[in-house]
């Protein structure tokens, strides 16, 4: 009668064998991402270890390469940093690039529109990132980014991704980034009579004084 340790080892080996049968074969590009230690020179941080599904990263990288090939004159930059694939394009090309990714690469979901204010740290003030996701194994995510300056606008992408409606309103509400080619541009979170855009770097700090024991009399 086999002892408990022998049975445990045999069970583990059987589980590993089953997993190897069920696991899909990696393509050469996917295999290039299947490593625990990631090159610090590429990822930008020594000791960084990837926790992203290599299948998703491979698919996103391939899609980015196709965008660069198809929209060469409109692509300003593209990179892979910390397992995030980013393609920087000119604002006028944004709807066409997203439509290309939706229709030819299968990125059916617009997960987020994420603006950032780079006041005094970049030639153009605002970076706006459009995160699209492909609903397959590995959940590949690709970030399409545009840069605009104060007073410049970006075209709406509602005809491509209808869910962009609230994202675009949020970008205007918090950052004051104008979006053209759409209707109903009004505040989403802040009250309609709110003055200014509170996530800008130059927005005045406000709030109420905090009541500490040593400041109760002053407040």
Taking only the tens of pLDDT, the chain with its 219 residues reads: 555 554 444 454 444 444 433 344 444 444 444 333 344 444 445 556 667 788 899 999 999 999 999 999 999 999 998 889 999 999 999 999 999 999 999 999 999 999 999 999 999 999 999 999 999 988 899 999 999 999 999 999 999 999 999 999 999 999 999 999 999 999 999 999 999 999 999 988 876 666 666 655 665
Task: State the total domains in the chain.
Answer: 1
Query: Taking Cα atoms as reference points, which of 198, 158, 157 lies closest to residue 175?
Result: 198
**Beta bridge mates, 85:** 80, 142
Task: CATH number of the domain at 40, please.
Answer: 3.30.460.80
Residue 185 domain-assigned (yes or no): no
Residue 215 domain-assigned (yes or no): no
C-alpha span between 170 and 150 (Å, rounded): 17
Q: Which domain holds residue 116?
A: 24-155
Residue 196 domain-assigned (yes or no): no
| Cβ atoms within 10 Å of 131's Cβ, excluding its own | 19
Q: What is the pLDDT of residue 54?
A: 86
3-state helix, strand, coil in the chain (%, to 5): 35, 20, 45
Residue 114 domain-assigned (yes or no): yes
């Amino acid at each position: 009668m086999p002892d408990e340790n022998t049975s445990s080892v045999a069970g583990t080996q059987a589980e590993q064998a089953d997993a190897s049968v069920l696991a899909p074969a990696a393509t050469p590009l996917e295999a290039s991402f299947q490593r625990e230690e990631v090159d610090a020179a590429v990822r930008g941080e020594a000791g960084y270890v990837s926790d992203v599904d290599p299948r998703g990263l491979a698919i996103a990288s391939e899609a980015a390469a196709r965008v660069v090939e198809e929209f060469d004159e409109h692509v300003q930059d593209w990179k892979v940093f910390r397992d995030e694939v980013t393609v920087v394009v000119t604002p006028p090309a944004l709807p066409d690039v997203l439509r290309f990714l939706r229709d030819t690469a299968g990125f059916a979901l617009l997960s987020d529109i994420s603006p950032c204010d780079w006041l005094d740290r970049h030639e153009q003030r605002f970076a706006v990132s459009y995160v699209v996701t492909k609903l397959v194994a590995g959940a590949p995510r690709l970030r399409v980014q545009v840069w605009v300056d104060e007073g410049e606008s970006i075209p709406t992408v509602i005809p491509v991704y209808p869910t962009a409606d609230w994202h675009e309103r949020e970008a205007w509400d918090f950052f004051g980034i104008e979006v053209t080619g759409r209707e109903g541009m009004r505040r989403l979170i802040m009250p309609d009579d709110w003055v200014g855009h509170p996530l800008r770097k130059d927005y005045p700090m406000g709030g109420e004084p905090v009541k500490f024991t040593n400041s109760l009399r002053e407040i």
